[in-house]
Structure 1
Amino acid sequence: MRIEEEYKKTGYFWLPEKEENKIPGILSIDDGGKIELEIVGHFDEGLKPLSGDDNLSRIIGHVEKDGLVTLDDCFYTKKNFSFGGISKSKVVVHKALSGAAWDKDEKVVFNTFSFSVDCLDEWVGISGIDVDNDWDRRTATIRYDPPEKIRMELKNGMTLEICFAYTLPGSPNLTEAKITQRAFFRLESENPRDLSDFTSIAFKITNLMCFAMDEIVSLKNVSATSSEMLRDGGNDKKYPVPISIYYQSIPFSEKIPKKTWHEMLFNFGAIKTNAQQMFNNWLNAYEYLSPALGLYFSTKAGAQKYLDGKFLALAQGLETYHRRTSSETLMDKDSYEVLVSEVLEGCPAEHLDWLKGRLMHGNEINLGKRIKKIIEPFKDHLGTSAERSKLLRKIVDTRNYLTHYSESLHDKSAKGRDLWVLCMKMEVIFNLHFLKVIGFADEEISRVVENCHPLKRKLKEI
């Protein structure tokens, strides 16, 4: 989670149903979403240095400016006991909800969940700001018409909206008149849902943005509302109380990315006519492609510090992708079962268990055939037949060498820059398949390949 402004606030904190035992402390949230609470003393009643129970399911607080805050899933990382002096303890917090207090066992449920990601304005590419310059008269007219919300129905019962927040010039504006606009996503459910339901969808949408922008972008500006939490707005009107939410979301990059639309794989304009179906296709893909997606995004987020680790994750990801999208085997199930029975009949009893283990996965196709099947739909973008065969062989030999370190494959495996280029080629294969997964037609994929500069650079290496 991106924390754009420093969050370090003092306040008083207590356990639910024990408000009389308030403890002063400082609540800090670092960029990335790491939350820590430093308190004077500890929440235990009396001295319990050997209790061993350092988990705190929920802490309530009242901090400067923000008011009430609820801290969930907490535990001590430092617990000091004083004998007449002042001691401090530290508590790690998994989630902070600023704006309200929940009871000890009360479920945290919401109806709406709003969030943004890095570079979302550039990806959406819609602005209500219109500037008309008259250079001859040295005048300028600025007009703002708020863009309409873009609404999409998700198959999980939620609604996803692309919304636009804005600020208009205040007064007096003698030297500056400023209009700002920012895009954000808004998930809505008619029935209250657990917070984890929303964060799960937000994680998948953030990954979609990472894929679309060909960059690791981070979640930010998260807030939620509930129909059960309303405040009086006057004139007999009630409004939902906005709750700011903080947690360590992934993916996260310390470096704030800067992307223009032509540096992205695709932007919203490329999918706007079929955006609802494409968002649903992506969310549905997690039902059967989650392991492959996880391996791909781990390489983009830099989880592997060394190039050979990145390569192995990509190779495993492609193999997993094919396993999840194809049930192809060497021979049909009945024929293989007959063959296994015949082989086992002639096996000495003392080797039977060993042979059964060997034959358990004997009907599966090997990595080379899986990669060939994966490349086939996009062969026109991946070089000549000879180049594709060389690519396939190099992936297999390098994977086998880095897995088994067989000396016979040492000279055949990719190393140095060749290994880096091989990783880029495998990323391209993933990119092309993910475009297909979310609903791009073949001719649309060809346009992406033609117009996307990052993808073209990777393809030049093939």
Structure 2
Amino acid sequence: MRIEEEYKKTGYFWLPGKEERKIPGVLSIVDGGDIELEIVGHFNDEMDVLGEKDDLGRIIGHVEKDGLVTLDDCFYIQKNLAFGGISKSRILVNRVYSGAAWEKDEAVTFDSFAFSVDCLDSWVNISGISVDHDWENNTATISYARPERTVLLLDNGMSLEICFAYTPPGFPNITEAKITQRAYFNLKSEALRDIKEFISTAFKITNLMCFAMDEVVTLKNVSATSPEIQSDGGNGKIYRVPISIYYKSIPFSEKAPKKNWHEMLFSFGVIRADAQQVFNNWINAYEYLAPALNLYFSTKTGSQKYLDGKFLALAQGLETYHRRTSSETLMEPGDFEALVAGIIKDCPGEHVGWLSGRLMHGNEINLGKRLKRIVEPFKNHLGKRDQRTKILRKIVDTRNYLTHYSENLKEEAATGRDLWVLCQKMEAIFSLHFLKVIGFTDEEINGVVKNSHPLNKKLKEI
């Protein structure tokens, strides 16, 4: 999670149901979403502190400016015992809900969940700001009309809105008049849902933005509302209280990226007519492609610190992708089962277990054939036949060497720049397939390849 302004607030904290025992402390949230609470002493009685578990569960607090806060999934990372003196304890917090308090076992539920990601304004590329210049009379007129929100119905029962917030000019407008607009997503549900459902969907949408922008972008500005949390605004007006939410989300990049829409794989404008289907296709893909997607994104977010690890993750990801999208085998399952039965029948009893283990995956096609099938739909983008064959052979040999370190494969395995090129190729293959997954036609994919310089470069790298 992107924390754009330092969050460090003093307050009093207590365990649910024990409000009479408030402890002073400081709640800190740093960029990335790491949350820590430092308190004076600890929440346990001196007599039973050594016997208590470090897991605290939920903590309630009241901090400066924000008022009530709920800290969830908390546990000690340092518990000091003073025995009459002053000591401090440190507590790791997984989620913070700022603006309300929940009881010990009360479910945290909402029906709307708003968030943004880095570079979203550039990806959406819709502005309500217009400027008219009259150069002859030295005048300029700036006007603003907030763009209409886009509503997409998701298959999981939620709706996804692409919304726009704006800040009007301040006063006095003597030397500057400034209008600021920002785009954000808003997930809505007719029924209350557990916060984890919203977090899971927001994670998938954030990854879609990473893919679309060809950049690691980070979740930020998260808030949620519920009809159960309301405030009296006076004059008989009741309004919902927005609850700010903080947690350590992935993906995360330490440096906020800056990217224009024309530098991205595709922008909202490209998918606008079919946006609902694109978002649904991507979210639904996690039902069967989650392992492959996770392996791919691990190579984009810096989880793989070394090139060898990145290559292995991509190779495993492509193999997993094919396993999840194809049921192809070497022979018909019935024929293979009959063959195995015949082989085991003639095997000495003491070796049956060993032989059965060896034959368990004997009907699966090897990595080379899987890669060939994966490349086939996009072979025109990957060079001539002999070039493709060389690339696939090099991927297989390198994977086998880095997995088993067999000396006979050492000379065949790619190293240095050659290994980097193979990674670029595999990333490009993933990109082409992900475009297919979200519903792009062959013609539309050709258009992306033509207009996306980074993807084009990966495909043509030699």
Question: Structure 2 length as normaliser, TM-score?
Answer: 0.99
Deviations along 1:355-390, one digit per CA (max 9) or x if unpaired, are 111111000000000000000000011111111101
Q: Which residue number in structure 2 is paired with residue 89 of structure 1?
A: 89
Calculate percent identity across the aligned residue pairs. Answer: 72
Distance 1:37 1:290 in 2: 34
Q: Which residue number in structure 2 is paired with residue 292 of structure 1?
A: 292
3-state secondary structure, aligned to 1:234? coil
3-state secondary structure, aligned to 1:312? helix
Distance 1:37 1:48 in 2: 21
Which amino acid in 1 is paired with 2:53?
D
Q: Work out the number of aligned pairs and report it.
A: 462
Q: Which residue number in structure 2 is paired with residue 255 of structure 1?
A: 255
What is the correspondence of 1:354-369 to structure 2 with a 5 Å cutoff? 354-369=354-369
How far residue 345 of structure 1 moved from its aligned partner, in angstroms, is 2.1
Distance 2:232 2:453 in 1: 52
Distance 1:63 1:387 in 2: 63
Q: Which residue number in structure 2 is paired with residue 280 of structure 1?
A: 280
How far residue 29 of structure 1 moved from its aligned partner, in angstroms, is 0.1
Q: Tell which deviates more after alignment, 420-429 or 83-92.
A: 83-92
C-alpha contact 2:44 2:52 (8 A) present in aligned 1: no
Which amino acid in 2 is paired with 1:89?
S
3-state secondary structure, aligned to 1:426? helix
2:161 matches 1:161 = yes
Q: Which residue number in structure 1 is paired with residue 332 of structure 2?
A: 332
Which amino acid in 2 is paired with 1:316?
Q
Deviations along 1:91-132, one digit per CA (max 9) or x if unpaired, are 100000000011111110001000000000000000000111
C-alpha contact 1:262 1:453 (8 A) present in aligned 2: no
What is the correspondence of 1:412-427 to structure 2 with a 5 Å cutoff? 412-427=412-427
Which amino acid in 2 is paired with 1:186?
N
Distance 1:406 1:195 in 2: 49
How far residue 70 of structure 1 moved from its aligned partner, in angstroms, is 0.3
C-alpha contact 1:112 1:188 (8 A) present in aligned 2: yes
Distance 1:138 1:382 in 2: 56
Deviations along 1:222-267, one digit per CA (max 9) or x if unpaired, are 0000011111123322111100000000010101111111111100
C-alpha contact 1:222 1:244 (8 A) present in aligned 2: yes
Q: Which residue number in structure 2 is paired with residue 371 of structure 1?
A: 371
Q: Which residue number in structure 1 is paired with residue 133 of structure 2?
A: 133
C-alpha contact 2:109 2:195 (8 A) present in aligned 1: yes
Distance 1:376 1:344 in 2: 37
Deviations along 1:280-314, one digit per CA (max 9) or x if unpaired, are 00000000000000000000001111101000000
Question: Structure 1 length as normaliser, TM-score?
Answer: 0.99
Q: Which residue number in structure 1 is paired with residue 150 of structure 2?
A: 150
C-alpha contact 2:3 2:220 (8 A) present in aligned 1: yes
Q: Which residue number in structure 1 is paired with residue 307 of structure 2?
A: 307
Deviations along 1:131-153, one digit per CA (max 9) or x if unpaired, are 11223332211110100000000
Structure 1 gaps, min length 5: none
3-state secondary structure, aligned to 2:51? coil
Which amino acid in 1 is paired with 2:262?
H
Distance 1:44 1:348 in 2: 64
Q: Which residue number in structure 2 is paired with residue 32 of structure 1?
A: 32
Which amino acid in 1 is paired with 2:303?
A
Q: Which residue number in structure 2 is paired with residue 101 of structure 1?
A: 101
C-alpha contact 1:110 1:194 (8 A) present in aligned 2: yes
Deviations along 1:418-444, one digit per CA (max 9) or x if unpaired, are 000100000000000000000000000
Q: Which residue number in structure 2 is paired with residue 113 of structure 1?
A: 113
3-state secondary structure, aligned to 1:336? helix
Distance 1:321 1:44 in 2: 50
Structure 2 gaps, min length 5: none
Distance 2:446 2:237 in 1: 53
How far residue 352 of structure 1 moved from its aligned partner, in angstroms, is 1.5
Distance 2:69 2:349 in 1: 67
C-alpha contact 2:382 2:460 (8 A) present in aligned 1: no
Q: Which residue number in structure 2 is paired with residue 215 of structure 1?
A: 215
Q: Which residue number in structure 2 is paired with residue 182 of structure 1?
A: 182
What is the correspondence of 1:375-454 to structure 2 with a 5 Å cutoff? 375-454=375-454
What is the correspondence of 1:219-230 to structure 2 with a 5 Å cutoff? 219-230=219-230
3-state secondary structure, aligned to 2:275? helix
Q: Extract structure 1 runs of 4+ deviating beyond 3 A.
A: none
Q: Which residue number in structure 1 is paired with residue 235 of structure 2?
A: 235
Which amino acid in 2 is paired with 1:445?
I
Q: Which residue number in structure 1 is paired with residue 345 of structure 2?
A: 345
3-state secondary structure, aligned to 1:50? helix
C-alpha contact 2:13 2:61 (8 A) present in aligned 1: yes
C-alpha contact 1:47 1:81 (8 A) present in aligned 2: no
3-state secondary structure, aligned to 1:419? helix
CA pair 135-47 structure 1, distance change in 2 beyond 3 A? farther
How far residue 217 of structure 1 moved from its aligned partner, in angstroms, is 0.4
How far residue 408 of structure 1 moved from its aligned partner, in angstroms, is 1.1
Distance 1:195 1:82 in 2: 38
Distance 1:53 1:415 in 2: 49
Deviations along 1:21-63, one digit per CA (max 9) or x if unpaired, are 1111100001000000001111112333421412111111111
How far residue 457 of structure 1 moved from its aligned partner, in angstroms, is 1.6
Distance 1:85 1:450 in 2: 70
3-state secondary structure, aligned to 1:193? strand
C-alpha contact 1:160 1:187 (8 A) present in aligned 2: yes
2:271 matches 1:264 = no
CA RMSD of aligned residues (A): 0.9
2:456 matches 1:456 = yes
Distance 1:438 1:237 in 2: 43
Which amino acid in 2 is paired with 1:273?
A
